[in-house]
Amino acid sequence: MGNIAFIGSGRMAAAMVAGLLRSNAYEPHQIACIGGAGTSSLLLSQETGIRLASSAADVLMDADAVIVACKPQQFAGLDREYGIKSSGKLVISVLAGVRLEKLTAFFPQARAVVRTVPNTPGAIGKGITVWSSATALSAKDGDVLSALLDGLGESLELPEEQLDAVTAISGSGPGFFFEFLAAYEAAARHLGLPPQVVRQLVRETFKGSLALVESTGEKPESLRDQVTSPNGTTRAGLDALDKANLRDAIAAALIAARDRSRELSR
């Protein structure tokens, strides 16, 4: 595979670079990056050995594939030179809310344009990325995309019209999970246990419960019922969650995130 260029050098770019190097899909000399006015691009270059570029022409000079990983709000002001110099290249975007229509307008001569929705667990290779392409990908471009996404974890192709829902579920999902974890630990501390004990109990319980779901293949509701005795402690807690409309709150969070993704995409 040819060289690869990153426009942007933030956390997602760093996660992708780490994945590419960890899997030996690319060598450091095959990867270049360029960032904004901050120091993230310099740090990424120093930590990984990839080349730090100084301009659009420089970063794209030898690249066969281009990863657009700047902040979504920076895309509107991106130098048009990036679009011009990407002629004939594979362009892969990780920009939340930026649709294929806008991407192909900015990179009109790219040989293929792909939109992806990754999530933050990709930083440790445990994420899931959903992607959609403006056109059918060649075998070569499919290999490049796979090399990039495999370093982040699992991947899945879906039609673009489903990506707003994906953004809510898996893109924003880690944020919702971390909020639930923080709330659960805070409530557990109020029961009187030391913070270090709460941390261990809560996190091991969550990890073990997810592992049980995956290993048994049973529905969450079935496993829930197995631990719930009539008039028991779990039943009392579940009744309290029902009274607080937990499921309605979760549904409202996902709908709000999806609708905001739609707004940002316009």
pLDDT at 121: 95
User: Which among 77, 144, 156 has a CA at the least distance from the CA of 111?
Assistant: 144
Model pLDDT for residues 18-73, shown as the tens digit of each residue: 999 999 999 999 999 999 767 889 999 999 999 999 999 999 999 999 999 998 88
Enumerate the H helices of 49-172 as residue ranges: 56-60, 80-85, 100-106, 139-150, 163-166
* CA 1 and chain centroid, separation: 24
Look over the chain and give the mean of its residue pLDDT values, rounded to a whole number: 95
User: What domains, with CATH codes, occur in the chain?
Assistant: 3-158 (3.40.50.720), 171-265 (1.10.3730.10)
> 173-207 pLDDT, tens per residue?
999 999 999 999 999 999 999 999 999 999 999 99
Q: Are 32 and 8 in contact (CB under 8 A)?
A: no
pLDDT digits (tens, 9 = 90+) for 113-151: 999 999 999 999 999 999 999 999 999 999 999 999 999
Average pLDDT over residues 155-159: 98
At 222, list the tokens.
């079935």
**Per-residue model confidence (pLDDT) at position 203:** 98
Phi-psi region of 24 (alpha: psi -120 to 50; beta: other; left: phi over 0): left
pTM: 0.92
